[in-house]
Chain A
């Protein structure tokens, strides 16, 4: 269950998952709101101002989940300015799920796959010399991060 740090990464991997399993993949948007913290009596004005800013205690988690493969891709934010962009992404993915803009998606996939393969080669080159433990770590991390999604990516690379 990885949380992506960039919404673009989330979008990209979600679109891959959606392309692989268009009928079962669902996207959830979860908006939480919890009441603002009570300010302590001995708080300085600065602290109070900070708390007011922090008083906006909502956050948004978007999850792409495919029950069939168990892949779950997440992105979390608490920034208001991202909402519009995220909903736009949801619309983009909805279009793909509905079978409207499928062609565009596959094109994009190919491009990034090439980049990924390139990146792997570089990793291998470094790892073969000295830093074997680092490579091992990376290999361990990959299945954790990707879940089902990671497995899917590997299959693709193998085919090419």
Chain B
């Protein structure tokens, strides 16, 4: 796994990923987010895990979580053959708890621009209604 990129680098790389997908008109982009807890001391041992299962499942609700960064990953989900050719792209970045709002505002913009293959809002019905209304007015 390559090192996490800075946010700016991540967004440029993600935009490039979306652009190449748009050009080829096919493909899959997979984005993942999770709490970043790669810390040897904080890692759960099997024993702890078992304890965890035995415990009341609501226990984690009462104890507040310590703040941790969010790990965001992006890949173009290419298979093994492509990996050998170097076509597989894997990106990752870490978002600190304070930056989440700012990051997601930019993330939304990039995603909206990148996911242009989705259907736009259907305005035909509204247009038809407006036409009908105008006709009614004209008649009256």
Contacts and interface: CB of A to CB of B under 8 A. Distances in A.
A98 to B, nearest CB: 4
A27 B57 contact: no
Contacts of B128: none
B118 A26 contact: no
A141 interface: no
Interface in B16-63: 21-22, 25-35, 37, 44, 49, 56-58, 60-61
Contacts of B66: 99
Interface in A32-74: 32-36, 53, 56-60, 68
Contacts of A95: 97, 100-101
A33 B25 contact: yes
Quick one: which of B31, B35, B108, B116 has the most chain A CB within 10 A?
B35
Given A33-B26, A83-B108, A97-B35, A19 B100 contact: no
A81 B118 CA distance: 9
A133 interface: no
B108 to A, nearest CB: 4
A134 interface: no
Given A35-B25, A56-B118, A94-B95, A83 B32 contact: no
Contacts of A97: 33-35, 68, 70
Contact of A29 (B21, B32, B61, B65): B32
Describe B's contact surface by its main secondary structure: mixed
A80 B115 CA distance: 7
B129 to A, nearest CB: 19
Quick one: which of A25, A31, A106 has the most chain B CB within 10 A?
A31
B69 A98 contact: yes
A79 B33 CA distance: 22
Given A98-B97, A100-B100, A35 B26 contact: yes
A87 B100 contact: no
Contacts of B100: 91, 94-95, 98, 100
A5 interface: no
Interface residues of A, number: 51
A30 interface: yes
Quick one: which of A19, A90, A98, A109 has the most chain B CB within 10 A?
A98
Contacts of B115: 31, 58, 60, 80, 83
A122 interface: no
B11 interface: no
Interface in B65-91: 65-70
Contact of A99 (B32, B65, B95): B65
A80 B121 contact: yes
Nearest to B29: A31
A152 B57 CA distance: 8
A23 B66 CA distance: 11
A19 B60 contact: yes
